[in-house]
Chain A
Amino acid sequence: MKRKANVEIALTHIVARRKQTFTAALGVTIGVGVYLFMNSLSAGFSKFSRGEIFKNSAHIKIYKNDEICSPFIPNSKQDNVNVIVNPQITTLSKKIIDPENLLNVVKSQSYVTNAISQVYFDAFYNRGKAQIRGTGNGVNIIDYDAMFSTSKYMVAGSINNLQGNLNGIIIGSGIAEKLNLGINENITVSSSFGIVKVMKIVGIFTTGNSLNDQSRSYVNIATAQQFIKEGPSYVSTIFVNTPNADRSGYYAEQLQQLTEYTVEDWQTTSADLLSGDKTRSTLMNSISLSILLMTAFIIYNLLSSTIMQKINDIAILKATGFSGTDVISIFLMEAVIMGLIGTIMGMILGAVLIWMMSGIYMGGPVGYFPISFELSLFIQSFVLGIVITTCAGYFPARNAANVDPVEIFRK
């Protein structure tokens, strides 16, 4: 009960007008709650789609890009004619020369947490007359698992069965279903280079992404190199993981200094996907921010009308020695108290909404709705709730501070 005069006055006002206080706080509650909820939705979506991207793509990939010849080839000798040609791709092979060395250099960088090499090939999975087109990945399955947690998605067999087994293959569940094949059965795989191999299915995986499950398979690197008639020095892509996916653009620039091959971060690779993501989260952000601004308006209105009604009290406070600064602090405190109550209740509301949403089953590869409790979003909502209500309270409070007591007493 031992309070400073300004605190005493602010608290008394708040308590005496609890109905209005509650209304204002409720407005803030809804604003902050919806803001938190919508941003969690958007963050959940982004996290989900990022997870989808990282299921079979790393933070950074290094590959040999197509080279296009210069259309104009000037001649060095004065009297000879210059040559103009149609620009065209001049890449003979997309292979990375001396991948072993490059991989080691990449791995030795301090910001590289993991790096693997990969060989892709166009694969045809056959059984009798049935044929499915897909992509074969030649990988070191143990390293690959360390990067992409493939073992998590295994529904039959084990990734260890592939290690060192040049005749083994791990296929997607969609392929197994369509060709009616099971574990330990044989599958005929051919490549666009005309290589045909009968391989043993040592594992089946389901990622939930039907496109993946119906086309992808994993074999050893050496096997993949045979499928495309290449020697052991052929590698199509080096995948690199870094400590922070959001900084991979910077890390990619660093890596680019080490090699003439194209170094591309995942944000560049998945730019179209990410721009969709960005559009959605911007939309959600602006909608929820508008709702929060409406909240600010509620506080502004309420405080303005309170001040109109309390103009006599403000005059008497100023007459008895309260300064303009004191008056501002009194009404600002009231706004902050309303804002604080509302914001805390809003975070509870948001948490309840998130919890309810996370229990909704969406089916398909999504499963349960991709939404979770993000501490950073709770902090963000809290700070924003307080800042906005404080700002909304400041303008009426400043008007209150400008009340001229003489004008009031003359009436």
Chain B
Amino acid sequence: MNNREIILHTNSVGKYFYDPIKFKAIDDISFDVYKGEFLTLVGKSGSGKSTLLYCLSTMDTAYEGELYIKGEKVTGKKPNELANIRNCTIGFIFQFHYLLPEFSCLMNIMLPALKLNKYTYEEVEQRAYEKMKLLDIEDQALKPASKLSGGQQQRVAIARALINDPAIIMCDEPTGNLDSKNTQIVFEIFNRICHELGQTIIAVTHDLDFAKASDRTIELADGKIISTYENN
């Protein structure tokens, strides 16, 4: 257990909000996340789960403490460097799917890879179809994103998060908007991603069943880690 590769590490991360009053939303958060791990963050509403996830995501840079991804310190890097890290190392899945409505599902999935500019257009297309096959949505490829059901849209968003084979996939309430059947599907996909493909998932959830089925659960309260469970 102890000789696993650490993919993400935080050292005493904290964050204040100043509006309407000065208030510490997360406080002294230190933990490691391992390669191939399916980690869930739980806690009551307002406990600081989302705030923490945004700090981990590199999108929020106004925090104290340090963040390391793949052993590299990302705290203090320039916005363009952070954008690059997000592009190739981190995939995002949100509660509200956030697809680009003018684009087809295929193009929604392809855009981060076209931005990465590592593969040719044909290769990117090929890879997008592979991800869609994994999520069983390849028949939706050419439909506009806005014409899909909620569950399908969330799967397109997952495919988009996976397109650049990121080391870490971060999710904020990924099943919050889904029925139990779709939640089950997403859960199975997450398990495959971690255990078959070796990618890491950090998911914020308030669904305790979902959390129990993950590898490890960190519980927050008032911005602090109050407990960590290994779910086996």
Interface residues of A (CB under 8 A from B): 1-6, 8-9, 12-13, 16, 312-313, 315-326, 404-406, 409-410
Which residues of chain B in 59-91 are interfacial with respect to chain A, using CB atoms and an 8 Å cutoff? 59-60, 79-80, 83-88
Given the known A-B contacts A4-B114, A8-B107, A409-B94, are A320 and B50 also in contact in the complex, defined by CB atoms under 8 Å?
no
**A312 shortest CB reach to chain B, Å:** 6
Q: Which of B29-37, B95-103, B132-140, B190-198 is found at the contact surface with chain A? A: B95-103
A9 and B86 contact, CB distance less than 8 A: no
B103 and A12 contact, CB distance less than 8 A: yes
Given the known A-B contacts A8-B111, A312-B98, are A323 and B92 also in contact in the complex, defined by CB atoms under 8 Å?
no
In the assembled complex, which residues on chain B have CB atoms less than 8 Å from the CB atom of A3? 114, 121
In the assembled complex, which residues on chain A have CB atoms less than 8 Å from the CB atom of B94? 409
Given the known A-B contacts A5-B115, A319-B86, are A406 and B59 also in contact in the complex, defined by CB atoms under 8 Å?
yes
**B107 shortest CB reach to chain A, Å:** 7
A113 to B172, CA, bound (A): 81
Q: Identify which of B60, B87, B98, B117 contacts A4 (C-beta below 8 A).
A: B117
| Sample (14) of A-B pairs whose CB atoms are under 8 Å apart | A4-B117, A5-B111, A6-B115, A8-B107, A319-B92, A319-B98, A322-B83, A322-B115, A323-B79, A323-B83, A323-B84, A324-B79, A406-B59, A410-B54
A321 and B117 contact, CB distance less than 8 A: no
A320 and B60 contact, CB distance less than 8 A: no
Given the known A-B contacts A316-B98, A323-B79, are A409 and B114 also in contact in the complex, defined by CB atoms under 8 Å?
no
**B179 shortest CB reach to chain A, Å:** 23
A8 and B114 contact, CB distance less than 8 A: yes
In the assembled complex, which residues on chain B have CB atoms less than 8 Å from the CB atom of A9? 100, 111
A411 to B90, CA, bound (A): 22
Q: List 11 additional A-B contacts (Cβ < 8 Å) besides A321-B84, A322-B83.
A: A1-B121, A2-B120, A5-B114, A6-B115, A9-B111, A13-B102, A315-B98, A319-B57, A320-B160, A406-B59, A406-B60
In the assembled complex, which residues on chain A have CB atoms less than 8 Å from the CB atom of B102? 12-13, 16
Which of B50, B100, B121, B172 counts the most chain A CB atoms within 10 A? Answer: B100
Q: Which 6 A-B pairs have the closest CB atoms?
A: A321-B87, A5-B114, A323-B83, A16-B102, A2-B121, A5-B115
Q: Identify which of A315, A321, A404 contacts B83 (C-beta below 8 A).
A: A321
A319 to B54, CA, bound (A): 10
A320 and B84 contact, CB distance less than 8 A: no
A1 to B122, CA, bound (A): 10
B59 and A321 contact, CB distance less than 8 A: no
A2 to B125, CA, bound (A): 11
Which of A2, A321, A409 counts the most chain B CB atoms within 10 A? Answer: A321
A320 and B86 contact, CB distance less than 8 A: yes
A365 to B177, CA, bound (A): 81
Chain A minimum-CB-distance residue to B79: A324
> Does B185 reach chain A (CB closer than 8 Å)?
no
Chain A minimum-CB-distance residue to B120: A2
A315 to B80, CA, bound (A): 15
A320 and B115 contact, CB distance less than 8 A: yes
A8 to B125, CA, bound (A): 14
**B115 shortest CB reach to chain A, Å:** 4
In the assembled complex, which residues on chain A have CB atoms less than 8 Å from the CB atom of B114? 3-5, 8
> Does B43 reach chain A (CB closer than 8 Å)?
no
B54 and A409 contact, CB distance less than 8 A: yes
Q: Identify which of B54, B100, B120, B121 contacts A406 (C-beta below 8 A).
A: B54
In the assembled complex, which residues on chain B have CB atoms less than 8 Å from the CB atom of A12? 102-103, 107
> Does B116 reach chain A (CB closer than 8 Å)?
yes
B59 and A320 contact, CB distance less than 8 A: no
A318 to B87, CA, bound (A): 9
**A330 shortest CB reach to chain B, Å:** 11
A320 and B112 contact, CB distance less than 8 A: yes
A410 and B100 contact, CB distance less than 8 A: no
A318 and B98 contact, CB distance less than 8 A: no
**A401 shortest CB reach to chain B, Å:** 9
A410 to B53, CA, bound (A): 11
In the assembled complex, which residues on chain B have CB atoms less than 8 Å from the CB atom of A409? 50, 54, 94, 172
A248 to B114, CA, bound (A): 59
Chain A minimum-CB-distance residue to B95: A409
B160 and A323 contact, CB distance less than 8 A: no
**B61 shortest CB reach to chain A, Å:** 9
**B27 shortest CB reach to chain A, Å:** 19
Which of B50, B83, B107 counts the most chain A CB atoms within 10 A? Answer: B83
Chain B minimum-CB-distance residue to A310: B100
In the assembled complex, which residues on chain B have CB atoms less than 8 Å from the CB atom of A4? 114, 117
Given the known A-B contacts A9-B111, A313-B100, A321-B116, are A405 and B80 also in contact in the complex, defined by CB atoms under 8 Å?
no
